[in-house]
Structure formats: structure tokens, C-alpha cells
């Protein structure tokens, strides 16, 4: 197993809002917990490399698969993945993920969900770390256009012919196409954890319904009102070559108690490519 093997996670299943969620925890004997929330089409196992040094430092580390991701159940036919559903799941899971002091980390989509939760429940987290997680770009259009685009994407979804992966090597190739700097052993690890065998090949574990267009326009002003409500000390971790919106500085400034660090020579998937550097940044923040 790449990323180090000193601390092996315990796997559990917790039910939140009627869905069985897959949960990993490292160093369960420790008192203070760091909860890690992954991003879009990612999985809890991707925090394996970050969890090792955090556990070495004496923290309990927990990561879970969002609904429709990894080994967590998919919504049923007729259901959909509206963004606040993720916040609702985090709200339901938190009492079971950590009973004492807790710090929360979110990457990308997970960072946006963490922001909404921390804003509405200011007394829960001792600190917040947002890793490339300050939300998507503003929607350049009107709400009816967004709704029409979503409806069209749903039409295509139900007409689609599912495309399978040939084998694990095919999954690795696709991961590394988007992330050429990813070491092969890490790509194989994530591909193995993130796929499942089906008739005729392999498929990604995430629900393909996620690939449809979101029906909800993203409003930076509305998101900024949430950021302004986050009372916990907040660390913004950005990659030098990462995802950056045009109003990035304004979003950081909206946080009442924040600092930002930029990690050099890395893009969006910091926890995959520089897990030790990310863990060091988190440790500097949580004390």
C-alpha cells in the first residue's frame, strides 16, 4: 500500500439520512479528531497519505465517502444529488465521527460543503482547512438557462450507453491522463479502491449521475455570506497550479479569521500529489 502503512484504517458503515456511508478512521485511540471530506468524484481512501503523518502526530483521522461516491450508497432511481444534501449528510454524520475536539478539512467540493456546515454550526469545529475548496466559478447566465442545461443533461444521461473500463490498467491510465505527475503506485491504489467489477469489465464506484450538469447556479455573493459566518480559524491551502476563480482574493477576504498558504509545484489534487506537505500545513494550523 502506498502512502505508508504504519497506521491502517478501520472501516465502518454509518447510516445518515437513509444511506449507508463508508467511513475510514486512523489512530482511533487518539483523542482529537481531524475529519477529512473529499472532493467531486473522489473517495475517502485518497486521504491515506495525509492521514499517516497526522496520525503520527497524535491525531485521530476520519474520512468518509460522500453519498454516491466510493463505497457509500447511491441515491435511488428518481433521486438526485443536490448540493445541500452533502451538507445534510455531514450534519448527520458529525456526532458519530467525533465525540471530542474536532478539526474539519475539505478538499474542492468537500471544502465548499464544509464551509456551508461550519457557517451554520459555528461551535462544532475547532478549526477549518479548505484545500482548493473555495467554490466553483460564478455561473455566467440566468437561472432558466441553467435549468434547461440540467434537463438536457438528464435527457442524455438516460439515453447513454454505459462505457466500461477495460481493466485496472485502463483506470490507472485515465487517472494519470488528468494528473500526469501522479506516481504509478498511487494511481493503482486509487484505481483499485475506486472501481468495482461488473459484467464486461470495471466501472468507477461513483454514481454516473454525478456527471450531469448541476441544476443550481453558483452565486458567489450567497457563498460569501456563508464564508463570513465561519467563526473557526480557517486555513486556505492552494496549489501553485491549482484551481483559482477570478474572485479568489475576495472569497478569502470574506473569511473573518483566515490565512492562506500556496504550496509550490502542485495543482488541484494536493492530497494525492503532495500529501506530506498538506499534512504539515494542517498540523501547523491545528496546533
In a domain, 95, yes or no: yes
Q: Is residue 227 part of a domain?
A: yes
pLDDT at 5: 65
Q: Are strands 201-204 and 195-198 parallel, antiparallel or unpaired?
A: antiparallel
Question: Which CATH number is 22's domain given?
Answer: 3.40.50.1820
Mean predicted lDDT score pLDDT of the chain: 96
**Looking at the domain assignment, is residue 181 inside a domain?**
no
Domain annotation covers residue 158: no
Domain contains 256: yes
Task: Give the span between the Cα atoms of 135 and 227, in whole angstroms.
Answer: 11
Q: Is residue 1 part of a domain?
A: no
174 falls within a domain: no
Please give the residue range of the domain that contains residue 263.
10-140+218-286
Question: Predicted confidence band at 277 (pLDDT cuts at 50, 70, 90)?
Answer: very high
211 domain residue, yes or no: no
Q: What are the pLDDT digits (tens) for 16-71?
A: 999 999 999 999 999 999 999 999 999 999 999 999 999 999 999 999 999 999 99
pLDDT digits 0-9 by tens, 134-178: 999 999 889 999 999 999 999 999 999 888 999 999 999 999 999
User: What pLDDT score does 162 carry?
Assistant: 85
With a threshold of 0.85, does the pTM exceed it? yes
**8 A C-beta contact, residue 194 and residue 159:** no
Quote the number of domains for the chain: 1
pLDDT score, position 190: 98
Q: CA 23 to CA 9: how far, in whole Å? A: 9
Residue 166 exposed, middle or buried by CB count within 10 Å (0-12, 13-18, 19+): exposed
How confident is the model over 219-232, as pLDDT tens digits? 999 999 999 999 99
Amino acid at each position: 500500500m502506498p502512502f505508508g502503512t504504519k497506521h491502517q484504517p478501520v472501516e465502518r458503515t454509518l447510516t445518515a439520512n437513509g444511506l449507508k456511508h463508508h467511513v475510514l478512521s486512523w489512530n482511533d485511540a487518539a483523542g482529537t479528531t481531524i475529519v477529512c471530506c473529499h472532493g467531486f468524484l473522489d473517495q475517502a481512501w485518497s486521504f491515506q497519505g495525509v492521514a499517516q503523518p497526522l496520525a503520527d502526530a497524535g491525531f485521530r483521522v476520519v474520512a468518509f465517502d460522500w453519498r454516491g461516491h466510493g463505497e457509500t450508497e447511491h441515491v435511488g432511481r428518481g433521486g438526485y444529488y443536490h448540493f445541500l444534501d452533502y451538507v445534510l449528510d455531514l450534519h448527520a454524520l458529525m456526532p458519530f465521527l467525533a465525540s471530542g475536539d474536532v478539526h474539519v478539512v475539505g478538499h474542492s467540493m468537500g471544502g465548499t460543503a464544509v464551509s456551508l456546515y461550519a457557517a451554520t454550526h459555528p461551535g462544532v469545529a475547532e478549526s477549518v482547512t479548505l484545500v482548493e475548496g473555495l467554490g466553483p466559478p460564478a455561473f455566467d447566465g440566468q437561472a432558466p438557462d441553467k435549468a434547461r442545461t440540467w434537463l438536457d443533461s438528464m435527457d442524455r444521461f438516460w439515453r447513454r450507453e454505459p462505457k466500461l473500463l477495460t481493466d485496472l490498467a485502463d483506470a490507472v491510465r485515465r487517472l494519470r491522463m488528468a494528473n500526469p505527475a501522479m506516481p504509478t503506485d498511487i494511481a493503482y491504489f486509487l484505481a483499485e479502491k475506486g472501481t468495482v467489477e461488473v459484467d464486461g469489465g470495471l466501472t468507477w464506484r461513483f454514481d454516473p449521475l454525478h456527471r450531469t450538469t448541476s441544476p443550481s447556479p453558483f452565486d458567489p455573493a450567497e457563498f460569501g455570506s456563508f464564508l463570513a459566518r465561519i467563526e473557526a480559524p480557517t486555513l486556505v491551502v492552494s496549489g501553485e497550479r491549482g484551481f483559482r476563480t477570478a474572485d479568489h482574493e475576495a472569497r478569502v477576504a470574506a473569511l473573518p479569521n483566515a490565512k492562506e498558504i500556496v504550496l509550490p509545484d502542485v495543482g488541484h489534487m494536493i492530497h494525492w500529489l503532495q500529501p506530506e506537505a498538506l499534512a504539515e500545513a494542517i498540523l501547523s494550523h491545528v496546533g
